[in-house]
Amino acid sequence: MKLLMALVAMAIAAHPTVASSQTVAVELTQTVGASTESVAAAATQIRAFGEVAGGVRFMGEGAWAARSSSGTDAFGAAYPYANRAQVIEAYGERTFQPGPFLVGIRGGRYRTPFGISSASDHAYDGFFRAPLIRYDNYYALSNNFLEHGADVIVGVPRLTLEVSAGTPSDVGAASRRSGLDTVVRGQGVIGALIVGMSYIRTTPYEDEYYAKGRAVFTGVDLRFMRGGVQVRGEWISGRPFDGTTTTGGYADLIVHRPSMGPITAVMRAEHLAYEVGSPYQLYGTRYTGGARIRVLGRLTAAVDVIHQSGALPQRHSTTVDVGVTYSVRSH
């Protein structure tokens, strides 16, 4: 809480300076929610981002989040609900354009750049839960994976190659062991379609006693948007450690047409398969339908109806998650 209060105080103190600049912004977001899994949750997030001297951009993000019960993945889309304030991201970056080429350099603490990975892709878009293939302890990747290192992007605007090298700096329950890890990602843009391929070689987050070797995953992702309709998804396959296999993915449909007014409809279908031999294998299928509603100004609400089957640890096969978010941004 001391860290959180310090971040809030910093944001308040920075307000006069931020207001006089068009290149720096501070954003404070408060969310409260509840699930029919008998779970209540609350979270506060503060972000500061913008441009400083010499064209260098920075981003800093801190969060505090807590929920009333463990053993659930409710409200775990973008940061962990560990009941303590944590620095999520803190990095600087610079982009160069030598001729027709694009070169970007990033250094610090940033989200693992595998697939659809940014916080804005998974938080405050109408989904309260991370995809199964991206949730802590489901033997794949995690939206709470962070890198402490350097990231380089090279290419042309419609075709880029990204390479990240660093050490794990995770904030969730699935915290990888120390060691060098690398991520390689290629991305191409064809009209309204974005297609990416990613590869990661990293350390397992399970106990070294039985989790031998390296965690290695390959993924394919795509995003398409036209006329207020967005389709996106990922398929990921690999091993969390030697002798195991995890495969799975998800497909999202997000619809916001002018005739829908303040409502954005969201739908998701997903599957996860962790294979290691009975009785430890994990199979799950989940379907989500919901909506995000802009209530008034900076106040938004969302509701998700979730049906799942398989050997997932949640208490009920069908649950309802609801939440309200209030955001304030200062430029």
pLDDT of residue 313: 66
The tens place of each residue's pLDDT in the chain, 331 residues long, gives 444 344 334 333 333 333 334 478 999 999 999 999 999 999 999 999 999 878 899 999 999 999 998 778 888 888 888 899 999 999 999 999 999 999 999 999 999 999 999 988 888 789 999 999 999 889 999 999 999 999 999 999 899 999 999 999 999 889 999 999 999 999 999 999 999 999 999 999 998 888 999 999 999 999 999 999 999 999 999 999 999 999 999 999 999 999 999 999 999 999 999 998 777 788 999 999 999 999 988 999 999 999 999 877 667 889 999 999 999 988 7
Give the span between the Cα atoms of 144 and 173, in whole angstroms. 8
- Host H or E run for residue 203: none
Q: How many helices (H) and strands (E) does the chain have?
A: 2, 16
Q: Where are the beta strands (DSSP E) in 99-190?
A: 102-111, 146-156, 159-168, 181-190
pLDDT of residue 224: 98
DSSP string, 8-56: HHHHHHHHHHHHT-SSEEEEEEEEEEEETTTEEEEEEEEEEEEE-GGG-
pLDDT of residue 86: 93
Give the span between the Cα atoms of 159 and 200, in whole angstroms. 20
pLDDT of residue 142: 94
pLDDT of residue 122: 87
- CA angle, 322 then 306 then 34, to 5°: 25
Burial grade of 288 (CB within 10 A; 0-12, 13-18, 19 or more): buried
Closest among 104, 197, 87 to 148, alpha carbons compared: 87
pLDDT of residue 104: 96
Give the span between the Cα atoms of 217 and 58, in whole angstroms. 29
Give the span between the Cα atoms of 170 and 229, in whole angstroms. 33
- Please give the structure tokens belonging to residue 255: 């619809």
Burial grade of 96 (CB within 10 A; 0-12, 13-18, 19 or more): exposed
